[in-house]
Structure 1
Amino acid sequence: MKNLEFPIIGTRLSGGQAKVISQKFDLNSPGGRKEYFEAKVGDEIEHLSKYLQNNSFIVYLLGKKNSGKGTYSKLLTEIFGEDKIAHVSVGDLVRETDDWKSFVKTKRFLKLKKYYRGYISFDEIVASLSSRSTEKLLPTEFILALLKAHIDELRGKAIFIDGLPRGMDQISYSLYFRDIINYRDDPDFFVLIDIPESVIDERMKYRVVCPICKTSRNKKLLITSKVEFNPKDKQFNLICDNPDCPEVGRARMVSKEGDEKGLEPIRERLQKDEELIKTAFSLHGIPKILARNHVPVADASKYFDDYELTPEYSFTWDEEKKIVKVNEKSWTVKDDNGVLSHSLLAPPVVISIIKQLVEVLEL
């Protein structure tokens, strides 16, 4: 971010460790990631696993839109297990209420009604939701009650909250949220994510989604195992390879309308997100984990292995063999301070989070 540099927390092993572990890990497969994490932070994972047997914590994820909050949470869940880690998206919880007729029949609705306290009557909020009125935004007090009702179902798990705080007015709520929801007496802290806007822009411009299973990929930065060439429009298309998709190997992934504009339509939101991150960074009394998505090109080899850097893909059509050739090279962007940088893949960023978790929890 401009005028705020997070430290570089490398993963590159040194000395005897580097000689023993010299292999290149496959970060695209669960098995490869498991070997990677065990090799790089096996001791830290062991300490955290023991801690999570009888303890939990609450993390407030703060990062700009498309900064990878959900991805990092999923990888941590992959490492420690769904019985120990829960990712809670405030946006997803609010969207669940879109089907209001079904929602009012759930136990969560009864808890929500019990927990809610605010300046707007509960019945007025219900009327707004049931009529799908967008004239009024949901009050923070309602969102907190909704969040508390959901977290009641997650007792014993470490929770990564994505979407609180969302605005400057919610900062104070997050500082005391653990006490508000009466979630044991376990630690809570922020995870702040620094990602260049140039990375967000490319992620949005080249994003494609499977129309069947909604799996998201990127034609430039995160491709599928199958790429097809359409001779009619001379376009290359990613084919969904999600094994759980009913049309796996057949469904052609498509762009979302408006994505070609990149980050411009959400620039105002990104600026607010940055202000929020910087405010959280300046707070006292609550620990902060700093996750950095990028590394200057000049420092990359000192801190990371080549396979941990985000590659850039392009395609060519071999007319003679009738196959798509995938070309790969190092991807470089300028960060928010104009420094030529590499973007990191998600696993090395997660390693930096794990290392800092151990420090914050004093394990």
Structure 2
Amino acid sequence: MEVGIVGLPNVGKSTIFNALTAAGALAANYPFATIEPNVGVVDVPDPRLKVIHGFIKTDKVIPAALRVVDIAGIVKGASTGEGLGNKFLSHIREVDAILHVVRCFVNEDIMHVDGKVDPIGDIETIDTELALADMETVGSALDRAERTARSGDKESIARAEVLKKCKAPLEAGLPVRSLDLNADERKLVRSLGLITAKKVLYVANVDEADMHGTGPLVQVVRDRAAKEGGTVVPVCGKLESELAELGGDDQKEMLQSMGLEEPALATLAREAYKLLGYHSYFTAGEIEIRAWDIPVGWTAPQAAGRIHGDLEKSFIKAEVYTVEDLVKHKTEKAIKEAGRLRLEGKEYIMKDGDIVHFQAGLAGKK
């Protein structure tokens, strides 16, 4: 699971990345400050872990996590190599989804590459470069597929049809993700690494006067995201970087003074997790309580395989209950006595928040 942070130079990408991953000093304030991407691992905050720990005492509590890649600022002409654009675009091809940071604050001390703050203009600059890069990829792949298709090769004929389908929205200035593709078509698109096929979450970098993102600069981004069926998370990069440097009690005090329950980056991490199409199930015992990240729609054996491949192969059944069951009945023993412990088989589709013990054919494995 990997998301890439993209945006124009000086929109606050690295500030947000550093706060999100507690990566250290902020990047310098000039274009192309980052050539090789920084990579960090981010915990996905989940209050249910604390609830479970309140009833099941254990040595460790381990949240789900995702990898975040801070990709250098993209400028006009990136698709043709401007500002080392080809190198940066190759980094985006490798991630699973995109966090697009958009500057929604005015600060004369921080230069804007175009000389003015224009969120929609910034989005369109990035979208254009990504679409142009994809058009080049699709064009080259289509030429090859059509040459091979002339021999009657069925796979190449089918490939060419999918590529033509991808070419049409790109020529109209639309992302490939706007297409309704079947499973086989999506698999082909993934193999091409098309950037505009990836899901996008907009991150509106706001100032401290608009932490909830109600101002006009954020609203235009919300309107844009709504048309795409997307989401916007407002984040004050400056504030979040200050919060990231504080300890638990000091951080809580600062949040309370500003009328906030948690850092905005907690919301961002959860939204990025959802963007990737993942949710969590839990295992809980004396050694650890842990959130396991799995794609939505996975079966119980697949979820068991997330722990260890042998568990999927030798899966027998899953003992399942909910966080709500634990809150009501207090112990696993009481949950079982109340008839709330369910036994699920190989066809069971895992639900977000399931607490599970897997039973397998390997001695000592759970």
* Structure 1 and Structure 2 fold alike (TM over 0.5): no
TM-score range with shorter-chain normalisation?
Answer: under 0.3
Identify which of structures 1 and 2 has the higher relative contact order when contacts are C-alpha pairs closer than 8 Å and 6+ apart: 1
TM-score, normalisation: structure 2:
0.25
Q: Which structure has the larger Rg?
A: 2
